Amino acid sequence: MHEIKRFENGFEYLEVTNSVMSAKIALQGAHIFEFEQKEREPILWLSPVSEFERGKAIRGGVPICWPRFGNLDKSMPAHGFSRTSLFKLIEVIEKNDVTTEVRMRLTDDAKTREIWDYKFELDVVFTLGETLKIELITKNRDIKEFMITQALHSYFCVSDIADVRVEGLEQKEFLDTLRDIKSKENVAITIDAEIDRVYQKVDRDITLCDAKRCIVLKAKGSASAIIWNPWIEKGSRMSGMKSDAYREFLCIETANAFDDARVVRAKESHSLSVEIVT
> What is the number of structural domains in the chain?
1
Name the catalytic one among 153, 170, 173, 233. Answer: 153
Q: What CATH number is attached to the domain comprising 220?
A: 2.70.98.10
Name the catalytic one among 121, 253, 270, 275. Answer: 253
Out of 31-35, 114-118, 206-210, 239-243, pick the least confident. Answer: 239-243
Active site residue 253: yes
- Partnered with residue 34 across adjacent β-strands are 24
pLDDT tens readout for residues 135-174: 999 999 999 999 999 999 999 999 999 999 999 999 999 9
Active site residue 153: yes
pLDDT tens readout for residues 167-195: 999 999 999 999 999 999 999 999 999 99
Chain center to CA of 72: 18
Domain span at 215: 2-277
Cβ pair 136, 124 in contact under 8 A? yes
Q: What is the dihedral of CA 22, 62, 132, 220, to 10 degrees?
A: 170
Supply the Cα-derived Rg of the chain in whole angstroms. 18
Q: What is the DSSP letter of 114?
A: H
